[in-house]
Amino acid sequence: MSTNAVNGSDELVIATGNAHKVEEMRAIFAAIAAEMGVTPARLPKFIGLESCGVSIQTPAEVGKTFEENARIKAIDYAQQTGRPCLSDDSGLEVNGLNGAPGVISSHFCTDGEERGMSRSERDEANNRRLLLDLSELPTDQRNARFVCVMALAGSSAEPILTKGTMEGRIGLSPRVPAGNNGFGYDPLFLVAPDYQSTSAELTAREKNRVSHRQAAARQMISYLLRRKPI
């Protein structure tokens, strides 16, 4: 069986409703493959949910960890689409907040509840909440990391999971927010080890070389290249 045959399919669905994340993940997989000398033909074609031709319902993310939520989404989307699906759950952990926002990173401003806000509205409100919660904390308690867990689900009983992190620190005003090349908490996140640039100030290529998704995707590509159908 060829390496790009995943459950008999030449396509692998990047199963997320976040268009920014779809494009970022495609770029990351392409860059890693090129770096490894892997031709596109050796990997599945990465497509979005909109290409599946079916009505999609977003699964409830009720897990208490990134691993649980990634697994929930991959299995649910694979069942809905009838195709192998790659989902991820990612977020921000801040040391001085005991790992918060964690799994509720995308809805931190509403304590994890969906309130019908647009993505940009949530991003702005989340960032305001984070800076407020950190306003009394010194620099050494503002250390943080982006975490990404990817889950690949198909016909097998249990998805394949990979995990990556990106270390950094939440900056202080007026240094942050800064940058226009990211989303979410990127404008607040000063990237380790030198803490000179926020994630949103990096170019897409620079970010994709060091990001948490890059680390998880590199492990996932290694799995796909081992010719194991899912």
Q: Which residues are catalytic, by number?
A: 89
Q: Cβ distance 185 to 130 under 8 Å? A: yes
Say if residue 177 is preceded by a cis peptide, omega within 30 of 0.
Answer: yes
Helices (H), strands (E): how many in the chain?
Answer: 5, 6
113's torsion region: left (phi>0), alpha (psi -120 to 50) or beta? Answer: beta
Four-point Cα dihedral 37, 40, 43, 45, nearest 10: 150
Tokens representing 63 are 């897990």
- Paired strand residues for 90: 148
The CA distance from 155 to 107, in Å, is 31
